[in-house]
Amino acid sequence: MTDSETPTPSQNPTEPTLFSAVGRTYFPIAFVARMPFAMIVVGVLTLVVAGRGSLSLGGINSAMVGLGTAVFGSFIGAAADKWGQRYVLLIVGFLNCVALTFMAWVVFSPLPDFVVFIAAFAIGATSPQVAPMSRSRVVDIIMTVLPVPRRPKVLNGTMAYESAADEIIFVFGPFLVGLLATLFNPVAPIIGAIVMTLVFVSAFALHPTGRRRSAALTAEAAKQAPAKDVFTAGVFVVVLGVFGVGMVFGSTLTALTALTNDIGRPEEAGLIYGVMGIGSAVLAICVAVFPSSFALWARLLCFAPILVTGAVVLASTESMPIIVIALLLMGSAIGPSLVTLFSLAAERAPQGRSATVMSMAGSAIIVGQSVASAINGILAEDQGTATAMAVPVAASAIVLLAGVLNLIVDKKPHRRGSGSSRRAVVDGEEEI
């Protein structure tokens, strides 16, 4: 985040900063509150495999989690736009804890598999959309509280931080699932997710930034754009790109699990996978120093080919040192790509529909991760590790496709109204 604590010559010391606007506790709470969302796919997979003894059944249940998120994630965001984040998060957080508790019981019950599928779908459908709602909150605060000249720089840095936080969580989440399952039992990750949801998601919901902003500050935002304005080519491209990144996460972890299992060291999969996440988080933070002349469309077209290259190298070797290099290369591209995609989401969100668009993009990560995990798990079991290692190539190609489609969309004349003010801020203009 680039909202400097030290006033510059052009910055009035009395002017608000992002940190003063959100408070010191906001970012730590929002960071930890993301963890349950990142744990659920792998947590459900681990639990079902342990309880029902079937890897394919576990993969299908992971996909059901993603399906539930895909169907209801955007509706949760739309509800937050209409009624405010606080009540929506508290309700879905409670329902998610109920669904997780039911899953922990039903897996070991004599009930048929389709009941387990229903539980998995319910977990995905009620997952609190903390990451996209955090982005929505800080974007709205930046657009209404901070002085106009500082908005572009702060927005760019904040999107970089938010994406880096996602990277860390989506790497550490599966690691935490494995740690809890190993030290205790397969139900432990589910219990951990319930506890973190009750404590940190509730704290995030009840944080002062979760209140609807006063009418005086949001007179313009109160004129909410119609729901149909969300369904544009620009938003679709963003969702496609984030979905591709989610597929990279899921397919890569599954492929590495298959590979390390072949060499008799399955416990190393999470550690090796972490190499990609660490590199990705570091590069995501570095996006904050990119010049405004490095346009968003150009960033995506610059880093997506690097992601594809790293995936190709990963698929073409069995040498562990080269695999690590390939993961570092992929990570160096994923971070900036994700920052860029969410910056585009902020730019293209129709007026008053920020949480909706951010939830659509945030849901796409978990959908991509769960779909890729399920598909690649089946491929690894039926076709072998070599086939599974090739799936990240296809996943990264989706991100590249999104970059190409985004170039086409970006060159078209933009509609007036809904997204014009956000576009001006992201592009570095001072007119809002």
pLDDT per position as a tens digit, 394-430: 999 999 999 999 988 876 654 434 444 444 444 443 3
**Residue 219 burial (C-beta neighbours within 10 Å; 0-12, 13-18, 19+):** exposed
How far apart, in whole angstroms, are the C-alpha atoms of residue 244 and residue 221?
31
pLDDT of amino acid 122? 96
pLDDT of res. 182: 75
- Helix 130-145 crosses helix 55-83 at what angle (to 10 degrees)? 30
Contact 346, 362 (CB under 8 A): no
Reference 221, options 338, 331, 349; nearest CA is 349
pTM above the 0.75 mark? no
186-190, 352-356, 398-402: range with highest mean pLDDT: 398-402
Instruction: Quote the mean pLDDT of the chain.
Output: 80
3-state secondary structure of 30: helix
Check if the beta carbon of residue 225 is closer than 8 Å to that of residue 357.
no
The residue count for the chain: 432
Per residue, the 3-state secondary structure of 143-167, as one string, reads HHHCCHHHHHHHHHHHHHHHHHHHH
Lookup: tokens for 298? 């150009």
Tokens of 31: 């960071």
Average pLDDT over residues 206-228: 60
Provide the pLDDT confidence category of residue 125 given band limits of 50, 70 and 90: very high
Which ranges of 184-319 would DSSP assign to H, the alpha helix? 188-196, 202-206, 233-262, 269-286, 296-315
What is the CB neighbour count within 10 angstroms for residue 324?
A: 14
Q: Is the pLDDT of residue 149 over 90?
A: no
Tell me the range of 12-16, 67-71, 234-238, 240-244 where mean pLDDT is highest: 240-244
For residue range 359-397, what is the model confidence (pLDDT) as tens digits?
788 778 878 887 888 888 788 878 888 888 999 999 999
17-67 confidence digits (pLDDT tens): 888 888 889 999 999 999 998 888 778 878 887 888 776 787 788 888 888
Q: What is the reported pLDDT for 404? A: 93
Specify the pLDDT at position 11.
53
The answer to whether 81 touches 356, Cβ cutoff 8 Å, is: yes
Can you give the residue ranges of every domain in the chain? 25-213+225-426
The class that CATH gives domain 25-213+225-426 is mainly alpha
